[in-house]
Structure 1
């Protein structure tokens, strides 16, 4: 399914960063994709299922969570962090800040596992 991805900070992601990026708490707070219930039903997803998010810039596997916020149809949200960074445009147009909003992505259920932080960093190192 083609959707628009927005990224941003959350209280839980911020708390987890302070606790330690190598902890499961950080994975649980940042390696997730917020989605509204209607979209989850349309794709056949339950909370905690894994999805692959693919953009023109990369791909990543994250867990689905039903959003407690209002997300319009066709939009998903991933907290800022290394999982979101896998699919955002690295070009900064000389601003030193990538575009974290309105990223066209394709999402699909997957049997692949969400990578923990050390494994994800090895993937980054492999491609950079």
Structure 2
């Protein structure tokens, strides 16, 4: 990798956050991984990125089922912000839901890169990195 890359995890599962951060750290020291535990926190972060013209993460790994503002609610609000963001963000749904209705609903969002089932593994997260970064 040429530089430092930013990844944002949005999930209320502390174990998942710990494991994902650990895996990313092992995959590359050039990754900066931040996290929020609900969609509302993440949405406020992106609103601040627009307001203050801050850089956005390269990758967003988003859970569906969270308190306050779930992944679906986040995506609805994110759609409104997307045209005002400086950079393209690679958004992945990372969820334990294998329900067909959720997979179909995800297809509504053409900017979603993929739908990843938990549990996450080193191979799944490495695949995300390889999809996004061509210099990994």
Same topology, TM > 0.5: no
Larger helix fraction of residues: 2
Tell me which of the two structures has the higher relative contact order, counting C-alpha pairs closer than 8 angstroms and 6 or more residues apart: 1
Larger strand fraction of residues: 1
